[in-house]
Structure 1
Amino acid sequence: MKSDLADILGALRDHPDNLANVSEHWSQGRSVYGGVAAALAVTAMRKEVAADRSLRSLMVSFVGPLQPGESAVRTRLLREGGNVTQTSAEIVQDGQVCLQTLAAYGKPREGLAIAVDHGFTADRPEPDTPLREQDPKRMPGFLKFYEGRWMEGGTPYSGDAKDTIRIWAAHRTDLSEFRDEAVVAVSDIPPPVLLNRFTDTRTPSSSLSWSLELVTPPERIDTRWFLLKFDIEWAADGYTQQSGAIFSEDGRLAALSRQTMVYFQPKTN
């Protein structure tokens, strides 16, 4: 079974029935890493869309655990207008829907441009820095496929209660043929910021929903490195919300992220 992400996406792209096969090395807890699961949906949806339309927004619902192994991606073209195409996809495994997405692809048009400062910091680490070894006991195994460094804020279960985390990350594999998927997959690396409040690793968490707005068309981003800056916005009743900004290596804002996550805090005696 293939582990290289470019090979996984390439096999799906070329499969007439949109069958995908993901190695167990991409696991995150009970499921395939969410960024890769979403990337599978994006690969399949792209087949429905004209090449001159860029991925502009992606909405993901993590319905249930997607296990390593084979799954099927079912796509639907919802509407193709003069400027925007809207599609949906669901990943099905053993007869169960594991993930559902909506995506909007749009042509560029002339219009007012506004750039807002989202706090980019040009402090990228040296190449070949293994992100996972920052704290291997607290980092999921799929991070071995990335270079990077945790730059700011506490890692999960560190007890370092900060509201912001910053991570530099880069795919180890060449995803130049999959620019949409490169941005999508890297954007889901940050864990729930809330987890840095805890020291008990028996505090599981998972994503419920994820919205990713592609500010810069992914085909215009040709750098491997991305800066991920994420902030917790709220937490109550076992749910937490966080938002994030994803920058390309040269400081361009690539995407804006927002997630709702669930966590299960152990009871104290």
Structure 2
Amino acid sequence: MHIDQLLHSIDTQMNDNQLTAKLSVSESWSQGRTLFGGLSAALTYHAMKHAITKEQLLRSLNTNFIGPIKLGEEFEITIEVLRRGKNVTQILGRINQDGKAVLSSLACFGTARRSKIEIKNNLQHCMPPPKKANFLPQIPKVTPKYLAQFQLAKTKGGWPFTGNKEASVQGWMRFATPPEVFSDTHLVAIIDIWPPTILQMFKLPKMASTMSWNLEFIHPHLPIANDDWCAYQATTRQASDGYAHTEANVWDAKGELIAISRQVVTVFG
């Protein structure tokens, strides 16, 4: 099941009078006992786009992963426009399954405005473009199935459960099967594909999951080709008491910063 199939299903269900969509996702998108978080956030964001205009761009997306989303069973995405101002629209998105809330997202969309303040981003990465993706063995009950939907080319850091002393990771990412057109919805999904930075420090498999995720999009940015690699660099700011705070920057293939990501990760070990 490709992500584009799910996005098309949302598009056919939602309109000005219908602010809900029902979906079921196959096991190929599983992340442990739940649906891959990047996909659930992306689907919710895609539903929100039906309540805005093309001029309103995503500025921030705050997602709380409340409970597991069961694969192969129907869930419902509901959106609510909290406020539609002159320049900014704020939308609340929810996913419910079996009558329970499992995800909540708050998005801020804003139109471009004239301003005397303009500060260019000077943060760059020094990673050469990858020649090919890394091989990721599919180890039952260890390697999440959703990773087969993507390609990763790691340049720094370790894979989970390798006993690495670092808590950072750098590399490149893209879809294994390119989407028809790469949109901001695809960008939301792909940013979350990397394993939590702290998992590489364990020598044996341990559980970890994202509790909350803050994502900011940098505009304007150039269109992204459907087979482009995007660069990713993540660090752990602090970790203790079973929680880790991580930050990441994302660049397009041309070296332009396009997103900033922050996560609070629960660690069981």
> Is the TM-score greater than 0.5?
yes
CA distance in 1, matches of 2:264, 2:146: 21
* 1:181 and 2:179 matched: no
Percent identity of equivalent pairs: 31
Between 215-224 and 228-237, report the one with greater CA deviation. 215-224
Are the structure 2 counterparts of residues 125 and 178 from structure 1 closer, same or farther at C-alpha, using a change threshold of 3 Å?
closer
Query: How far apart are 1:108 and its partner, in Å?
Result: 1.2
Query: How far apart are 1:216 and its partner, in Å?
Result: 3.0
* 1:101 and 2:105 matched: yes
Are the structure 2 counterparts of residues 62 and 29 from structure 1 closer, same or farther at C-alpha, using a change threshold of 3 Å?
same
| 2:204 aligned residue | 200
| 2:128 aligned residue | 123
* 1:9 and 2:7 matched: yes
For 2:136, the aligned partner's letter is Q
Q: CA offsets per residue over residues 176-207 of structure 1, 9 Å max, x none?
A: 54612111001111222111111111x10101
* 1:134 and 2:139 matched: no
Are the structure 2 counterparts of residues 113 and 217 from structure 1 closer, same or farther at C-alpha, using a change threshold of 3 Å?
same
Contact 1:122 1:251 in 2 (8 A): no
CA distance in 1, matches of 2:47, 2:221: 16
| 2:163 aligned residue | 159
CA distance in 1, matches of 2:12, 2:222: 20
Query: How far apart are 1:145 and its partner, in Å?
Result: 1.0
For 1:244, the aligned partner's letter is A
| 1:78 aligned residue | 82
The two structures have a TM-score, normalised by structure 2, of 0.90
CA distance in 2, matches of 1:217, 1:8: 27
CA distance in 2, matches of 1:178, 1:218: 13
Q: CA offsets per residue over residues 191-237 of structure 1, 9 Å max, x none?
A: 22111111111x10101000000013567434632111000011111
Are the structure 2 counterparts of residues 78 and 92 from structure 1 closer, same or farther at C-alpha, using a change threshold of 3 Å?
same
SS in 2 for 1:7: helix
* 1:48 and 2:68 matched: no
SS in 1 for 2:45: helix
SS in 2 for 1:43: helix
Contact 1:238 1:264 in 2 (8 A): yes
SS in 2 for 1:230: strand
* 1:67 and 2:65 matched: no
SS in 2 for 1:234: strand
CA distance in 2, matches of 1:53, 1:217: 12
CA distance in 1, matches of 2:70, 2:220: 30
| 2:36 aligned residue | 33
Are the structure 2 counterparts of residues 217 and 22 from structure 1 closer, same or farther at C-alpha, using a change threshold of 3 Å?
farther
Q: Output the aligned Cα RMSD.
A: 1.8
Equivalent residue in structure 1 for 2:255, among 248, 251, 254? 251
SS in 2 for 1:36: helix
SS in 2 for 1:168: strand
Are the structure 2 counterparts of residues 106 and 219 from structure 1 closer, same or farther at C-alpha, using a change threshold of 3 Å?
farther
Query: How far apart are 1:31 and its partner, in Å?
Result: 0.6
Contact 1:36 1:185 in 2 (8 A): yes
Between 107-116 and 69-78, report the one with greater CA deviation. 107-116
SS in 2 for 1:47: helix
CA distance in 1, matches of 2:221, 2:25: 23
* 1:57 and 2:60 matched: yes
Query: How far apart are 1:122 and its partner, in Å?
Result: 4.1
* 1:89 and 2:93 matched: yes
Contact 2:167 2:201 in 1 (8 A): no
Structure 1 runs not aligned, ≥5 long: none
Are the structure 2 counterparts of residues 218 and 5 from structure 1 closer, same or farther at C-alpha, using a change threshold of 3 Å?
farther
The two structures have a TM-score, normalised by structure 1, of 0.90
